[in-house]
């Protein structure tokens, strides 16, 4: 196998490792919120540094290959997509970290009685992330297209949740602080979904050379 | 300029298979492909240089402004379709006489006219400032890069409509290469350029359109950006990404 191909495979493996780290951080941070688990929240926050380090390593390796190999065609599309996905993953790591921080704050406040299905929303978002990573691994544009479709559902749940939380705060002024924290929880989850959507768009570009950003419903 | 159903033979050997390629005016077209793929053969059919090879013949048509190149006087065709080769080949004459040669053959005799033409050609080829004080020196005293620009200036002196370049930079260092590439950009407003190159980065840098040849066939011809970002044929992708063979 060509040396360059081996290096591209190494980069792919590294990005998937980073994806796994971010996936775990998102999953744990949501659990920390739902189960009011401050220890788990602390673990997520401790893991942020490793994700950041990984981001820099991937950037460095991808930039090195761009400079030294001057790739074109699918190699070029792969490398530019890796750089963008890397940034999205790091931002998801930040958002998981923020979710963990909300979990810590919420644990000190009385639990809210809200009719919001955070586990459902988070399982949708986590599945978007998982599918994006899987689509990247297989360069599968069809699977990536599925992710784009899920984003609308996440946005719908966020809209409903906002309404619910605001109504609860109006009726129960003493819960305003916890309500604001919950708005951030919902907002962070929705943003993680947005980044998964960006990743899926990059995978479609990588696989097919087609740019579907900003008109996500365009079929591949 | 365009080729229609062009099949080219060196005696029994068919070097080109059914090439249909439209070269756009005032654009730079690059032809890439592995050695022996037919790209230089194609270039050399455009101004009938290949006719000098025994046994060479072709079917199909090559049209310049819609007229077959075969129906044109070969000297006037080569005035309209100039050529620069891989190895610079200045005449064993002075710098001035190298440039003035073509215009003289084409009937320009007045010294003043020749001086104007020589200066204009050298300026267009970005060589004037370097040679204006030594026009009577032998062209062979110039550096390799300067000699190649002199050959381009010589080709440009007769104001060709099309300029064919066969790996013009393969023997030059990166600075001389850059000067030639800048020169191509500066003349393309008045000249249609076709360049054969083994250097894919060069094709990517200079060409508006790129054609990929393999085994005598034109595999893909598209905007250069498309060829290097998202080619439609697997053979093209394998070649430009170095997976070929």
Q: What is the pLDDT of residues A38-57, one digit of tens each?
A: 999 999 999 999 999 999 99
The reply to whether residue A72 touches residue B243, judged by beta carbons under 8 angstroms, is no
Instruction: Assign A216 a pLDDT band (cuts: 50, 70, 90).
Output: very low
* Percentage of the residues of chain B whose pLDDT score is greater than 70: 100
Task: Say if residue A220's pLDDT is above 70.
Answer: no
Residue B90 contacts residue B142 (beta carbons within 8 Å): yes
pLDDT tens digits along B52-99? 899 999 999 999 999 999 999 999 999 999 999 999 999 999 999 999
Whether residue A74 lies within 8 A of chain B, CB to CB, comes out as: yes
- Collapsing DSSP to helix, strand or coil, A58 comes out as helix
pLDDT at res. A115:
85
Contacts A74 to B, Cβ<8 Å: 237, 241
Residue B2 contacts residue B45 (beta carbons within 8 Å): no
Residue B179 contacts residue B149 (beta carbons within 8 Å): yes
**Whole-model pTM?**
0.84
pLDDT tens digits along A131-157? 999 999 999 999 999 999 999 999 999
Q: Tell me the domains of chain A and their CATH numbers.
A: 3-208 (1.20.58.220)
pLDDT tens digits along A169-210? 999 999 999 999 999 999 999 999 999 999 999 999 999 999
Whether residue A67 lies within 8 A of chain B, CB to CB, comes out as: no
Task: Say if residue A214's pLDDT is above 90.
Answer: no
Range from A71-75, A96-100, A211-215, B210-214 carrying the lowest mean pLDDT? A211-215
**CA–CA separation, B239 vs B200, rounded Å?**
10
The runs of H, that is alpha helices, within chain A are: 3-34, 38-69, 73-107, 118-138, 141-171, 176-208
The pair of structure tokens assigned to B129 is: 């400032």
Averaged confidence pLDDT in chain A:
94
pLDDT at res. A219:
44
Query: CA separation (Å) from B52 to A123, B44, B45, B47, B57?
Result: 74, 10, 11, 11, 10
Q: Using CB atoms within 10 Å of the CB of residue B181, give its burial: 0 to 12 exposed, 13 to 18 middle, 19+ buried.
A: middle
Query: Which of A2, A4, A77 shows the shortest C-beta gap to B229?
Result: A77
Average pLDDT over residues B20-40: 96
What fold does the segment set B2-240 form as a domain?
Answer: Rossmann fold (3.40.50)
The reply to whether residue B200 touches residue A76, judged by beta carbons under 8 angstroms, is no
Whether residue A75 lies within 8 A of chain B, CB to CB, comes out as: yes
The pair of structure tokens assigned to A198 is: 């960006």
pLDDT at res. A218:
47
> DSSP of A71-132, one letter per residue?
--HHHHHHHHHHHHHHHHHHHHHHHHHHHHHHHHHHHTSPPP-----HHHHHHHHHHHHHHH
Query: CA separation (Å) from B49 to A86, B70, B75, B82, B108?
Result: 53, 12, 11, 10, 24
Nearest residue in B to A1, CA atom:
B243
pLDDT at res. B245:
54
**CA–CA separation, A100 vs A38, rounded Å?**
8
Mutate to test the interface with B, among A73, A77, A141 (most CBs of B within 10 A): A73
Count other C-beta atoms under 10 Å from residue B20's C-beta: 12
The reply to whether residue A2 touches residue B243, judged by beta carbons under 8 angstroms, is yes
Average pLDDT over residues B173-184: 90
Task: Work out the minimum CA distance from B237 to partner chain A, whole angstroms.
Answer: 6
Q: Enter the ipTM.
A: 0.75
């Amino acid at each position: 196998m060509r040396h360059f191909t081996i290096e591209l495979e190494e980069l792919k493996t590294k990005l998937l490792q980073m994806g796994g780290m971010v996936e775990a951080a998102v999953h744990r941070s949501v659990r920390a919120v739902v189960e009011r688990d401050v220890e788990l929240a602390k673990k997520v926050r401790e893991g942020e540094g490793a994700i950041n380090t990984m981001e820099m390593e991937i950037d460095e390796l991808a930039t090195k290959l761009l400079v030294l190999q001057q790739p074109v065609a699918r190699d070029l599309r792969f490398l530019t997509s890796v750089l963008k996905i890397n940034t999205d993953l790091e931002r998801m790591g930040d958002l998981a970290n923020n979710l963990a921080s909300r979990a810590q704050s919420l644990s000190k406040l009385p639990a809210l009685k809200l009719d919001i299905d955070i586990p459902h929303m988070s399982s949708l978002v986590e599945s978007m992330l998982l599918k994006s990573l899987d689509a990247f691994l297989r360069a599968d544009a069809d699977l990536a297209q599925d992710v784009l479709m899920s984003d609308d559902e996440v946005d719908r749940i966020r809209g409903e949740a906002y309404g619910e939380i605001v109504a609860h705060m109006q009726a129960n002024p003493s819960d305003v602080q916890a309500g604001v924290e919950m708005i951030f929880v919902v907002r962070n989850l929705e943003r993680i979904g947005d980044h998964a959507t960006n990743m899926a768009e990059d995978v479609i570009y990588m696989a097919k050379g087609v740019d579907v950003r900003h008109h996500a419903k365009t079929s591949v | 300029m365009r080729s229609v159903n062009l099949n080219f033979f060196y005696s029994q050997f068919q070097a080109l298979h059914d090439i249909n390629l439209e070269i756009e005016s005032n654009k730079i077209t690059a032809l890439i492909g592995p050695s022996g793929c037919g790209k230089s053969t194609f270039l050399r059919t455009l101004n009938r240089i290949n006719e000098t090879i025994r046994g060479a013949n072709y079917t199909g048509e090559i049209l310049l402004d819609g007229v077959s190149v075969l129906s044109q006087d070969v000297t006037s065709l080569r005035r309209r379709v100039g050529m620069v080769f891989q190895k610079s080949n200045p005449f064993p004459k002075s710098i001035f006489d190298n440039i003035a040669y073509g215009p003289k053959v084409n009937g320009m005799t007045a010294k003043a006219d020749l001086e104007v033409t020589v200066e204009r050609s050298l300026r267009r080829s970005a060589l004037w400032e370097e040679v204006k004080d030594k026009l009577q020196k032998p062209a062979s005293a110039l550096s390799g890069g300067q000699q190649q620009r002199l050959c381009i200036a010589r080709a440009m002196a007769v104001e060709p409509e099309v300029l064919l370049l066969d790996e013009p930079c393969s023997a030059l260092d990166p600075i001389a290469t850059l000067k030639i590439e800048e020169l191509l950009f500066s003349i393309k407003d008045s000249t249609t350029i076709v360049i054969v190159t083994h250097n894919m980065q060069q094709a990517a840098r200079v060409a508006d359109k790129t054609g990929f040849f393999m085994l005598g066939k034109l595999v893909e011809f598209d905007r250069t950006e498309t060829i290097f970002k998202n080619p439609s044929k697997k053979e093209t992708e394998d070649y430009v990404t170095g997976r070929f063979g």
